[in-house]
Amino acid sequence: MIVAIAFSMFAFAEATWSQGARIPADAVDAFHAALRKNDTAAALSLLDRELVVFEFGVVDPTVEAYAFQHLPFDIDVAAASQWGVQSRRVGGDGDIRWVLTSYHMTGRQSDGSPIDQIVLETMILRRTSGLFRIVHMHWSTNDAQFQASSQRSVRPATEAPPK
């Protein structure tokens, strides 16, 4: 069953994989918007096939690992929180760009506990066929309790999925 779901998710994403953005910060903002809308296909379409994610102390070494391990958690968090941009810097040149953003994240976790923290985000983007897609994400927070709950919500990248 999991294999069938995986195949259908990536088959659908394949059709939309050509999405991206002409401006790096627009790709980052579109990714966050897709998370808030619970739009898995749109979120995946903004990710480069060589994606590597560092998220709250856990590594997702492939776009497939991220899709199955952290993406569902990220969608849940996005639905339960508001991310206000505090600062943003964009740099790089040519086909490789970076977007550094500091967010103030507020809301409520699924257990009702409040979310009120600073989230630091590094996104590295690569331009292919004129569009930027995210090739690396790194999220961190100064909230140790939130980081611990994030780590418990996913399996380590080397752990096999349940049968």
* 114-133 confidence digits (pLDDT tens): 989 999 999 999 999 999 99
Q: Can you read off the two tokens belonging to residue 140?
A: 């961190």
pLDDT on residue 12: 42
Strand order in the sheet with 81-93: 58-60, 47-55, 131-141, 114-128, 96-108, 81-93
Residue 162 confidence class, pLDDT cut points 50, 70, 90: very low
Nearest-angstrom CA–CA distance, 46 and 132: 8
* Domains of the chain in sequence order: 2-152 (3.10.450.50)
Q: Can you read off the two tokens belonging to residue 74?
A: 């990220």
* 62-100 confidence digits (pLDDT tens): 999 999 989 998 999 899 999 999 999 999 999 999 999
Q: Is 75 left (phi over 0), alpha (psi -120 to 50) or beta?
A: alpha
> Is the whole model's pTM more than 0.75, yes or no?
yes
Q: Is 56 left (phi over 0), alpha (psi -120 to 50) or beta?
A: left
